[in-house]
Amino acid sequence: MTEFSHLVAIVTGGASGIGAAVVRRLHEGGARVAILDVNVAKVPRHTFGFETDVSNDESVRAAVMAVVEKFGRLDIVINNAGIGAQGDVAGNDDDEWHRVWDINVVGMARVSRAALPYLRVSPAAAIVNLSSVVATAGVPQRVLYTATKGAVLAMTRAMAADHLREGIRVNAVNPGTADTPWIDSLLAKTDDPVAERAALEARQPHGRLVSPDEIAHAVAYLASPQSGSTTGTSIAVDGGMQDLRLRPE
């Protein structure tokens, strides 16, 4: 028996970066894992990939149904799919505000809503939402993205309150800047990717980017049946970015 034996997990956005690390970690722990992603062409063979757009309710409901049809149950939902947005408060038009909000916030509500009937009958139900350090610390040129991640954090607590008595725990993880394809593509668009990467590393007190596996470890802790008394909270995995103030070396 391992930690997640007999349990079935959905990981949205599980085809890349943090989501892929979470998929590996849950699989190692014995879970059967479904990846709901817009791109499932290269998901590992031991997973169930289902092409899903979290901004489309029909697509989400079909995916959750397919997971339950395949495995007969659903215990864990990792709401990880998300996209970035750059700029100050005037940096994005209404269409972009709605597009990013629809994926990053409403997407998590859609997946959770579709999963609830199955989570209610699970003996070990858990939802983990991916927020970000930007939900608790102001960083420049990220207003729209920050608004969505703040909403995720607030929504996590409200969901935890609503579903506590149904036996469903809801928590969040707030990563700092992590070493994923997302950050690689952001860096590639800058004039000096090396200097930009160094600046991102220096922003985190431990002096480097967070690894996806470190974030997956926190996600697995919150998703684990062994964390039965942990709900409505968040774990920062940010190298101290939120809370520490070090003197310059």
Cβ-contact 2, 196 below 8 angstroms: no
Question: Of these, 23, 63, 80, 159, which contacts ligand NAD (CB under 6 A)?
Answer: 80
Count of residues of this chain found to bind ligand NAD when the rule CB under 6 A is applied: 28
Kindly state the tokens that stand for 158. 């409200």
Site for ligand NAD in 129-168 (CB under 6 A): 130, 132
Residue 13, interface with ligand NAD (CB under 6 A)? yes
Burial grade of 86 (CB within 10 A; 0-12, 13-18, 19 or more): middle
Torsions phi, psi of 51, nearest 5? -60, 120
Residue 53, interface with ligand NAD (CB under 6 A)? yes
In whole angstroms, the minimum distance from the beta carbon of 40 to ligand NAD comes to: 9
Residue 145 catalytic? yes
In whole angstroms, the minimum distance from the beta carbon of 204 to ligand NAD comes to: 10
Among the listed ranges 22-30, 81-89, 113-121, 187-195, the one in contact with ligand NAD (CB under 6 A) is 81-89
Q: Annotated catalytic sites, by residue?
A: 145
Chain residues binding ligand NAD by CB under 6 A are 12-13, 15-19, 37-39, 52-55, 80-83, 103, 130, 132, 175, 177-178, 180-183
